[in-house]
Amino acid sequence: MPVKSATAPRAAQELSVKPASKNARVVPAKPGSPPNAVPDSTTWSRGSVLSVTSLTPKTVSEILSLAGELEQQDPLERARRLAKRKIALLFYESSTRTRTSFELAAKGLGADTTLVSSLSSSIEKGETLKDTGLTLRALGAEAIILRHPSSGAPWLLERETRLPVLNAGDGMHEHPSQALLDLRTMLNHLRPGTTTVAADTLAGVNVVITGDILHSRVARSNMLLLPKLGARVILCGPPPLLPDLAADIPGVEIERDFPRALAQAQIVMMLRIQAERLAGLQLDLEQYKAKYQLTEALLAAHAPQAILLHPGPIIRGLELTGEVADGPQSRILEQVHNGVAIRMALVYRALTLPEREVRA
C-alpha cells in the first residue's frame, strides 16, 4: 500500500494519459501564449508540491522559514506579495480545513482565488480533469490546488496544464501540506522556535499514528516525511486497517498493542475511520473502539506528556473521546491554525519559483 517513489502512482495511469517523450523540450507557458495550447512535454514546476518524497530537509526548512516569515509580516505588506495573481482551487472531494486554509492563505497574499467543486461545475456533466485544468489555465489560473479521489491525479494535472499544482489530497495516496503543518505543530511543542530542520532534528522522537492507516493519505505523507528528519514512526491499528507491509518503509514500525504504542509516544496522532472507504473490509466498530479508542484514562496512564494531533475531521466517540479532543494535550486546533501559514508558503513558492524544468 505505501508508495515509496516520487513518481506518479499507478492510478495516474488509470486516468489514461499517455506518457510523454523523455526528450521532449520544455516550452514554458508565457503570458500571451495561446491559452488552449496543449502541452506536449514532460515538465514540472519547481513550485509544485505533489508528494513529500521530493522534499529534502533543506526544502522543508525553506517552507517552514517562509511560513514563519509570512505569518509575522504586516498583513497589508503581505497582501502585495501576490496581488492580483490568480489561483484556482479544484476540489473533487469535500473539505473544510484544507480548502478554507488554502483559500485564506492565497487571499492573505493578495491573490484572487476561484473555487471549482465537482458538485457545482461542468465536472458533473462529465468533463475530464485534463479539460477542466486546461479550462482553468485558459481563464488565467497560474496555479491549481487540487483535491481528487484518484491517487496520482495531481501528476496528471501538472503534466497536462504545466501549471504549478499543489496536492491537497489525492485518494489514499498523499496529503503533503497536512504533513508539513503537522511537522510545524510538532516542532512548536518539541523544539520551540525551530524553523530549520535537518536529518537529525527529530532524532529520539516517536510519533505514534493510530487508526485507519490503510486509507489515510495523511498517515502516508507523515510516514514518508518524518523519518527523513530522524523520527521513528510507530503505526498502530488492526490488520484490516494496517497491513503488515506498511512496516517496509524505512523508519516505520508496527505495534498493534495500543497501550504499548502510547507508552513510547511523544506525539500521538489519531486518524478517522474512513467509513466512506471501508466497503469490503470486515471491521466491527465496537471491537475497534474497545481496542483503539483514545480515552483520557489511556492518555493519563501511558502518554501523560505527549501531545495529541488529528488531521480532522474528528469523530467524537469513535477514534477518540470528546474529552480527549478538548483536553489539555490536544493540539488539534493548533494544527488547523498552522495550516494557513504553511499553505501561504506553498502558494507563494508555487507562483514565484522559476517556471519549468524537465523532470529528471
Nearer to ligand CP, 95 or 195 (CB): 95
**Helix 129-138 / helix 153-161 crossing angle, nearest 10 deg:** 40
Residue closer to ligand CP (CB basis): 50 or 134: 50
What is the phi/psi pair of residue 76, to 5°?
-70, -40
The edge-to-edge listing of strands for the beta sheet with 165-170 is 112-117, 86-91, 143-148, 165-170
Q: Which is nearer to ligand CP, 134 or 224 (CB)?
A: 224
Name which of 276, 271, 275 is nearest 258 in CA terms. 271
* Segment near ligand CP (CB under 6 A); pick from 90-98, 112-120, 193-201, 320-328: 90-98
Shortest distance, position 220 Cβ to ligand CP, whole Å: 13
SS3 197: coil
Least distance to ligand CP, CB of residue 215, Å: 13
CA–CA separation, 301 vs 278, rounded Å? 31
Q: Which is nearer to ligand CP, 66 or 219 (CB)?
A: 219
- Residues 89, 145: contact at Cβ < 8 Å? yes
The number of residues making up the chain comes to 360
182-190, 227-235, 296-304, 309-317 -> range binding ligand CP (CB under 6 A): 309-317
Residues with Cβ within 8 Å of 97's Cβ and at least 6 positions away in sequence, in order, are 311, 312, 313, 336, 339
**Shortest reach from residue 279's CB to ligand CP, in Å:** 20
Please identify which residue in 145, 161, 312, 331 interacts with ligand CP, judged by CB under 6 A.
312
Q: Which string of x and - marks every residue 131-170 that binds ligand CP (by CB under 6 A)?
A: --------------------------------------x-
DSSP 283-305: --HHHHHHHH-B-HHHHHHH-TT
Should residue 95 be labelled a site residue for ligand CP when binding is judged by CB under 6 A?
yes
- Total of residues contacting ligand CP (CB under 6 A): 11
| Interface with ligand CP, residue 276, by CB under 6 A | no
> Considering only 2-10, 159-167, 274-282, 311-319, which stretch makes contact with ligand CP by CB under 6 A?
311-319
Contacts of 169 (CB under 8 A, 6+ apart): 93, 95, 98, 147, 148, 175, 178, 217
Closest distance of CB 95 from ligand CP, Å: 3
Binding residue for ligand CP, selected from 53, 65, 97, 264, defined by CB under 6 A: 97
* Shortest Å, Cβ 99 to ligand CP: 6
Amino acid letter at 203?
A
Site membership for ligand CP, residue 176 (CB under 6 A):
no
**Among 96, 287, 295, 352, interactor with ligand CP by CB under 6 A:** 96
Is the Cβ–Cβ distance between 170 and 146 less than 8 Å? yes
Alpha helices per DSSP H over the chain: 10-14, 57-72, 75-78, 97-108, 129-138, 153-161, 176-190, 217-225, 258-262, 285-292, 296-302, 322-325, 332-352
Q: Which of 235, 311, 314, 330 is close enough to bind ligand CP by CB under 6 A?
A: 311
Interacting residue ranges for ligand CP, rule: CB under 6 A: 95-99, 169, 175, 178, 311-313
